[in-house]
Chain A
Amino acid sequence: MPRMDLSFSAEDEAFRREARTFIEESLPDDIRAKADIDAPFSPQETMHWHRLLFERGWVAPGWPKEVGGPGLSATQRFILSEELELAGTPTLSPFGLMMVGPAIIQFGTPEQKARFLPKILSGEEVWCQGYSEPGSGSDLASLRCKADDDGDHLIINGQKTWTTYAQYADWIFCLVRTNSEGKKQTGITFLLIDMKTPGVEARPMLTLNGQPAFCDTFFENVRVPKANVIGKIDGGWSVAKALLGHERTLLAMVGLSRRLLRRIKRIAAETTVGGRSMLETPQWRLKIARLEIELEALRMANYRAIAGAQLGRAPGPESSILKLRGTEINQQLYELAMEIMGHDALSWYNEDGVIPAMEQGIAPNFCYARAGTIYGGSNEIQKNIIAKWILGLPSGK
């Protein structure tokens, strides 16, 4: 009787070694030095790593071969992502590679594919996302950023917010209102806008980690050719919905959280209280162990989801929990790290060198990790979706 098998195939293990070797050999020393202490990467460093992955052919693992993807299996894509996370490499901007790219691949014209995809791959053009507005967060479909018809063009007026790293972006993909009649979802259009167009202005703001990660992005009479509409005019909501289902098996951040857990153990091992390392102190050790068990359960759920994807199956109930639990556990790990650090948790970027390097970066990252349960559909919205579509509960009150 064939047995369930929790191990990766020999072929996949060989791929894991290949990925690990590539990262070891290719990650530039200055980036590695920062990775070792979780220091924030500059946009230049992130783009440098982007180009190295591009040259290796691994920058867009999920893309089909005919548009420049490497033709990796779902399992191999997961392994690559896990190895990149475990090594602490810079997280590439997802907006081009994971969001607008797949949207263009699925809904774009041949001209749009030829125009945009190669430069997303090479990193020549950097993208940001214009979804949320000051009045439209979780209720995204209520968005009001207006697109008026002007022959071959649309004229955009309005504001987008939380546009992450818009100040460095060459292009923005937006959901704009082309029609105010009927259901709010039906009058939305998915539109690509060149950030250099007159009337576009991105104003950065600081986020909790002290970095200018977010922007308010304003549009004042911005003329955009209709050729930049992805899908149909008024049909943008279905493009946006299709994106949500993309690569859901990579949302659990298992690699990042495993790396963080290792770091927590190291901090605990090297921090002594009353002559005893915190890792040898039962109450701390068991606290870490409890979180490790939660992470292990998430990892197994993630493996189940990948095995399903590998068989070409639509994401099942097991994959709906990955974003939810993955972001929660990541936050809990940062919280535990801060707790173990004690007074050192008061430190900021440690420019004055008062805390050990292994603790550097934890505090700002702890702050920014709060984003995880908010972005990509807040966890509360995720729960609404599971309640309705998986548990079949009536429409919410």
Chain B
Amino acid sequence: MDFEYSSDQKMLADTVKTFVKQRSPVERFRKLREAEQPWDPEIWAHMGELGWLSVPFPEEAGGFGGGMVEVGIILEGLGKALAPEPYLASVVLGGTALQRAGSEAQHERWLTPLIDGQAVIALAHAERASRHDVREPGTTAERDGSGWRLSGEKVFVLGGFQAHQLVVSARTPDGLGLFVVEPGDPGVHRQPVKTIDGQGAARLRLDGATVGDDRRLGEPGDAALGVLRRVLDLGAAAAVAEGLGVAQAMLDMTVAHLKDREQFGVPIGAFQVLQHRAVDMFVEVQLLRSMSILATVRADEADDELRERSVSAAKAKLATAGRFVSQQAIQLHGGIGLTDEHDVGLYFKRMLALNAVLGDEQFHVERLAAQPGFAA
């Protein structure tokens, strides 16, 4: 067993910390959240220069050849400061879907600009009717001459309104397929959608959108579905890591408030009832940190049962720990916690968003309980 970061990983964590401190305090997100462009393309390019956008991709695809532990280090750091750049949406979801399903030529065409910080790729998999089950999308893709015609609607596409490419899941006669759609393609209608956490998403309507066969990523069927499911596990593990950063920040903020705020002539942190609540939050953050390690280490595990079990346990824990920590953070801040001017509410809402996407608590508890090994 080894829970230590390697020296490279420690360096990465330090770089992220320095970056957040110098270039991305929470005020940056606060200003951007109302903008039509809710994140900063210059910062995205800077992340590309730092090599962060290449982390989970293999070297032959121009990547750094890292793993989800490194991705987790970056996302935990970004989560602590609510950095709004679409790292989870574009690198972990859109990027790995493209890299794992796509050909070398497709990597060169779309992945390279992402790695360089010049493009954003979103994953459009969520639909209203199917909730978190991605196996049989309502969106269809039919052969149309040498290309494809796509019809359907995708909701809450993370990072989707600014994305240069969208990886769309659709039902073909041979099973689930993955296709690259661009905003300018005929029949593609994209609309910005405000989200609860201020980070923004898109609604994507495909009205007989026509694309060439060069937009097909791999073969429809089990292969494409397998990629999508693996990518969503990476995404769920990444959400746990980001959520850990969010939870840790809320705990730190709350403990600081308890030391600072005075009532009845003493810091309110001297009251045992509040101390014990803060300890309950601390315990949940410690457990969440343990589960984030489990999730990031196992997120790309080839053994389906081991991977799904670990990721689902961790994502379900993000729901219970995240809910408790964020609700108590507001409670312990009192009235100020209700105001928009205080940061704690921004974190509260980011936690809500992370729990609503990539499988909610019910989905993951059910998936864990459905594993063959559960009853054994």
* A interface with B by C-beta (< 8 Å): 1-9, 12, 75, 265, 269, 279, 282, 285-286, 288-290, 292-294, 296-298, 300-301, 303-304, 306-308, 310-311, 317-318, 321, 324-325, 380, 383-384, 386-387, 390-397
Contact = CB atoms under 8 A, between A and B. Distances in A.
A92 B373 CA distance: 32
Contact of B1 (A265, A293, A306, A318): A306
Given A4-B3, A6-B298, A393-B259, A384 B283 contact: no
Interface string B284-309: 00111111011011100000000000
A317 B281 CA distance: 13
Interface in B28-63: none
A298 B5 CA distance: 21
Contacts of A288: 369
Interface string B266-292: 110111100110111011001111110
Nearest to B269: A393
B290 A301 contact: yes
Contact of A386 (B282, B289, B366): B282
Given A8-B1, A394-B267, A285 B369 contact: yes
B interface majority secondary structure: helix
A387 B298 contact: no
Tier of interface size on chain B:
35 or more
30 contacts: A3-B6, A3-B67, A6-B298, A8-B1, A75-B1, A282-B366, A285-B369, A289-B369, A293-B365, A294-B287, A297-B290, A304-B293, A306-B1, A307-B4, A308-B3, A317-B286, A321-B282, A324-B283, A325-B283, A383-B276, A384-B272, A387-B279, A391-B255, A391-B275, A393-B270, A394-B266, A394-B267, A396-B271, A396-B272, A397-B266
B291 A297 contact: yes
Interface string B2-41: 1111101100000000000000000000000000000000
B184 to A, nearest CB: 39
A75 B1 CA distance: 9
Contacts of A297: 287-288, 290-291, 313, 317
A396 B275 contact: yes
Contacts of A394: 259, 266-267, 269-270
B368 interface: yes
A289 B374 contact: yes
A249 to B, nearest CB: 12
B69 interface: yes
B258 interface: yes
Given A7-B1, A269-B375, A393 B255 contact: yes
Contact of B297 (A6, A12, A298, A311): A6
Nearest to A318: B286
Interface of B: 1-6, 8-9, 66-67, 69-70, 255, 258-259, 266-267, 269-272, 275-276, 278-280, 282-283, 286-291, 293-294, 296-298, 313, 316-317, 365-366, 368-369, 374-375
Contacts of A300: 287, 290-291, 293-294
Given A293-B313, A384-B272, A387-B276, 13 more contacts: A292-B313, A293-B365, A294-B317, A297-B288, A303-B3, A304-B3, A307-B1, A307-B4, A383-B276, A383-B280, A387-B278, A393-B270, A397-B272
B361 to A, nearest CB: 9
Given A297-B317, A394-B259, A397-B266, A307 B283 contact: no
A382 B37 CA distance: 48
Contacts of B289: 318
A290 B245 CA distance: 23
B275 A384 contact: yes
Given A387-B279, A392-B259, A397-B266, A4 B272 contact: no
B268 to A, nearest CB: 9
B317 to A, nearest CB: 5
A10 to B, nearest CB: 12
Contacts of A317: 282, 286
Contact of B365 (A265, A286, A318, A391): A286
A395 B267 CA distance: 10
A293 B313 CA distance: 5
A224 B374 CA distance: 57
A387 B368 contact: no
Nearest to A12: B1
Contact of B275 (A6, A301, A387): A387
Nearest to A310: B1
A2 B258 CA distance: 40
B368 A393 contact: no
Contacts of B5: 4
